[in-house]
Chains A and B, each alone.
Chain A
């Protein structure tokens, strides 16, 4: 019985975190977007700077009608948003929030995350296919093509870190980086880890369909690509999954390169409680950076997208992996 309770608690905490974080980040995204453009954004709902607006938006989505297109594949149509959200939620199991809390302390943690997040691709393709709408399918194909091609530089840069630290366990990776700012992975093997981080960050942007790689959605040009036919709660699930994925890739960046839950001041401000603070704030910083990039960069063309992936990121990450590997052997 206590074991079941443990499992329940361990699974509910990340879910609660995702829900709270999604509401907060929805607000932050709108606010950053408007302030970057010298506007105010919403100011009324809830009083202070419209803090209750995302809650109102969510309630609106919850109460909306579920519309399933007549000729759609009903089973896949319902399954797709669940699969997309479930795969990104499942990946949170292996994220070490602090030195004492990790839902599943897997020895192959990062491998598990890479494996489970590729389910997102299947979910997206499922959504596009089952909508029985050629534009949804095209959007899904573009999205899948993008995610699959950017998975290679992502995995290669993750592999570079793994070569450097010698473990797949995310908790151990954080443990290794304990002891202050300069024991973080980003400062090892200069400047190759920095390059690895840049490659990882760029590729992860493409993986979560954020600007400048938001061709599948392209909100100013297309109608949202693969989730065109979705309404209400199912649509909200896609959004939730997108925001959950944003924190997931940022959290992995924080763990692999910036010490995860370890404090930047060594033993000062360290401990399980501060661990949560450091991990979440590091993750949120990269989420913030993603939002800022959205309002800074224009969208890439499809051929430019493929150029960046196959001719820039992939070869450089290969070279990077070789150099770091050689250096690690020779050391």
Chain B
């Protein structure tokens, strides 16, 4: 019988304790962050969207090789001797046209392994993390200054130049063969 009344008393008492707690929390400041309006500050080393500063890129392909998921595609074209591409901000001389620098960010695993080998520190992680797209193809980012047509043109130009070079090299060799009397004898 005593236990019965004690139970009732404990029940009422504990309900009051619980109510006190919930009332207290009614006035505690909410921890909610109203996300699109207010954003949490990201940590310094947060890895999010990749960015390439193409002006500094020397086309060394180190990042392409480091990428474990092969999401970086680079195509380069040799600069002609009469073209001066200048230097990067880190002082490296640029010798190659970077005609294609594509990052398929939908494949990217945000490991950051491409960032470390870059000699000119031109590929790095930014703090942008809102880049959803309706079309998957929009997630392939083109960082190169060349359009595909321009790249094609450049390639042809270089091929042309190389062909000319070959011709120049080949011509003196031919003359040698012609002028050599022994060769003539063999031929006849």
Least distance between A188 CB and chain B CB atoms (Å): 21
For residue B62, CB closer than 8 A to chain A, the reply is no
Bound state CA distance, A297 and B12, in angstroms?
A: 12
Please, what's the 1-or-0 string for A293-319, where 1 marks a CB less than 8 Å from any CB in chain B?
101110000000000000010001000
Task: Known A-B contacts: A36-B25, A198-B12, A312-B8. Give 10 more (CB < 8 A).
Answer: A38-B25, A38-B28, A38-B30, A40-B30, A43-B34, A292-B22, A293-B15, A296-B19, A297-B15, A297-B18
Instruction: Contact check, A40 vs B32: say whether CB atoms are below 8 A apart.
Output: yes
Assuming the contacts A40-B32, A312-B8, asked whether A296 and B15 have C-beta atoms less than 8 A apart, the reply is: yes
Bin the interface of chain B by size: 10 to 19
Q: A198-B12, A312-B8 are contacts. A36–B26 as well, Cβ < 8 Å?
A: yes
With most chain A CB atoms within 10 A of its CB, the pick from B22, B23, B31 is B22
Bound-state CA distance A36–B28 (Å) is: 8
Whether A82 sits at the interface, judged by CB under 8 Å, is no
- Shortest CB distance B119–A (Å): 49
What's the Cα separation between A295 and B24 when bound, in Å?
12
The residues of A that contact B30 with a CB separation of less than 8 Å are 34-35, 38-40
Set of chain A residues within 8 Å of B34, measured between Cβ atoms: 40, 43
A39 touches B19 (CB 8 A): no
A interface, size bucket:
10 to 19
Q: Chain B interface (Cβ within 8 Å of chain A)?
A: 8, 12, 15, 18-19, 21-23, 25-32, 34
Q: How far is the CA of A35 from the CA of B32 in the complex (A)?
A: 10
Chain A residues close to B by CB (< 8 Å)? 32, 34-40, 43, 198, 292-293, 295-297, 312, 316
Asked whether, in the complex, the Cβ of B29 is within 8 Å of the Cβ of A296, the reply is no
A293 near B12 with CB under 8 A, answer: no
With the chains together, A130 CA to B23 CA distance in Å?
Answer: 42
Query: What is the CA–CA distance of A304 and B34 in the complex, to the nearest angstrom?
Result: 41
13 A-B residue pairs with CB within 8 Å: A32-B26, A34-B30, A35-B30, A38-B29, A38-B32, A39-B30, A40-B32, A40-B34, A198-B12, A293-B15, A293-B19, A296-B21, A312-B8
* Given A38-B30, A43-B34; A296-B8 close (CB under 8 Å): no
Give every chain B residue within 8 A of A297 (Cβ-Cβ): 15, 18
A293 contacts which chain B residues (CB < 8 A)?
Answer: 15, 19
Give bound CA distance, A295 to B22, whole Å: 7
Assess whether A38 is in contact with B23, with CB atoms less than 8 Å apart: no
Q: Which of the residues A32, A37, A38, A292 comes within 8 Å of B19, measured between beta carbons?
A: A292
Say which residue of A35, A40, A198, A316 sits within 8 Å of B25 (CB atoms).
Answer: A35
Question: Who on chain A is nearest to B23 by CB?
Answer: A292
A210 to chain B, nearest CB (A): 14
